Amino acid sequence: MLSLLSFMALPRVAVLLSTLLLFSPASAQSIKSLDDLFTLKAGDSKGGCDKYKTQLTAFLPDIQALVDAGIEASDPSTGAAIQNNKNAITNLFTFYNFEFDNDGNPLGKNKNPTRQEKSRLGSIHGTFNDLKLFLENGYTAIERLENTKPWLFCDSSWLEETETAYDEDGNPEQNTDTGAAAGSTYTVRNIPIKDAQGKQTDNFELYSEFQTPANADPDNWDKYAYYSPDFKLYMSTPKAARALDNGSGGRSWCNGDVTEGPSDVPEKRRYGITTEWMASATITLCPSVFGSDGANWNTLNDMKNDARSSTYGTALESRSIKAITLMHEMIHLLKGNDDTPDAATYSDGVLGLTKDQKAASRTAASKNPDTYVYFSLSYWLTKNIKMPAPANTNNAPSDIDWSAGVSKGEVRPGPVADSGPETDGDQ
């Protein structure tokens, strides 16, 4: 049975019961294939991923590497030994505003260990573990996915604006009105929703919000219909959120909308979206992810081999890889959009989120997908790329600190404080 949902009230992905299993990065399992993890839309049109499958397949081991880095860096069981991992302490401070005492306890506002901060660190670690669980075991291991494989689309054209009325089998509704031209079909605006006696028909729920006066301006309708042939479902959106035309008559999310402007404008560019309002959860990656409009590097290995990755003064953002958009959307998928609001994007925005050191900002950072992405990338870079020693010296290669958003010549220890007993006090 078709169901009609409002774009503005689009249900966000439900909360996943956080997996608290602790994984050892040293015992990494093999990851599932792309087809094991997702129902991949076939073909090269209407959201199809065929031409991007090689790139998508290469994304997975890079995401795994970043997830393992995040798990290692955020491990709440490390205790006092965290003081020996300056890379972890520094990144936990700049990205999440954590401070630790000499025993490795996260400190609250009054420089005392608090259960809130300990819980927050555990939650961050749990999110990385959920990603690992999904990559290694697939959707059946994730309770909130309800044993239903999520879909992956490579453009939003799988859900385009339409005027055509479709039946529950996805076929256009044939116009049976007296005098209708042979072979003509109903639109969502003229299909009957009441019978001759004025009683509502089964069509009423499906199409009533699209019904408008015959002379209404098509550019000023209250609601516009979007249809998915894959799920045989409609979505509605108000004028303010109507997608822009891609130049070929297709209106869908990746194009941008009438409020934001076109997605080919850099500050308006769209990369991905995660939803759960059809028969299964969906991730949509926009074409901008895969081309020159996306991140600079195809893989971690490509980025690592670039000379600027071992040079001081290189921006963290310039080290981003194309896989980070899928990693970002997977966090939405596994934790739920309501629990992972996008509070900041890109490395500069993420690092600016906690500069005021307020509890609300720390909470926002702990839920923000891009914070996870750049935290793990910064930690991975420091762990895996060193500054070569000067020629003709016996010096060892030097660590490179990326935690401030630009490569620097040392890994700076995060704040360490003497503290009193653990409390339930203010973060």
Q: What is the Cα–Cα distance from 331 to 329, expressed in whole angstroms?
A: 5
Q: What is the Cα–Cα distance from 87 to 413, expressed in whole angstroms?
A: 8
The burial class, CB within 10 Å (0-12 / 13-18 / 19+), for 95 is buried
pLDDT of residue 16: 33
Whether 265 maps to a domain, the answer reads no
Looking at per-residue confidence, does 126 or 195 come out higher? Answer: 126
- Closest C-alpha among 174, 287, 98 to residue 106: 98
Does 184 have pLDDT greater than 80?
yes
Whether 301 maps to a domain, the answer reads yes
pLDDT per position as a tens digit, 364-394 = 999 999 999 999 999 999 999 998 877 666 6
What are the CA-CA distances from residue 342 to residues 144, 337, 339, 362 (Å)? 21, 9, 10, 13
Whether 231 maps to a domain, the answer reads no
Whether 162 maps to a domain, the answer reads no
Whether 235 maps to a domain, the answer reads no
Does 283 have pLDDT greater than 70?
yes
Does 418 have pLDDT greater than 70?
no
pLDDT of residue 393: 67
Q: What is the Cα–Cα distance from 227 to 159, expressed in whole angstroms?
A: 5
Number of domains present in the structure of the chain: 1
* CA max distance for the chain: 95
Whether 277 maps to a domain, the answer reads no
CB 159 within 8 A of CB 252: yes
Q: What is the Cα–Cα distance from 288 to 271, expressed in whole angstroms?
A: 6
Which DSSP category does 109 fall into?
T
pLDDT of residue 415: 52
Whether 229 maps to a domain, the answer reads no
Q: Please, how many CA atoms are within 13 Å of residue 330, restricted to the half-sphere of its CB?
A: 29
Distant-in-sequence, close-in-space partners of 199: CB < 8 Å, separation ≥ 6: none
Whether 136 maps to a domain, the answer reads yes
For the ranges 188-197, 272-281, 341-350, 381-390, the maximum mean pLDDT occurs at 341-350
Does 302 have pLDDT greater than 70?
yes
Which DSSP category does 380 fall into?
H
Structural domain of 307: 17-32+55-151+290-417
Which range has the worst mean pLDDT, 57-71, 80-94, 303-317, 411-425? Answer: 411-425
Q: What is the Cα–Cα distance from 177 to 165, expressed in whole angstroms?
A: 14
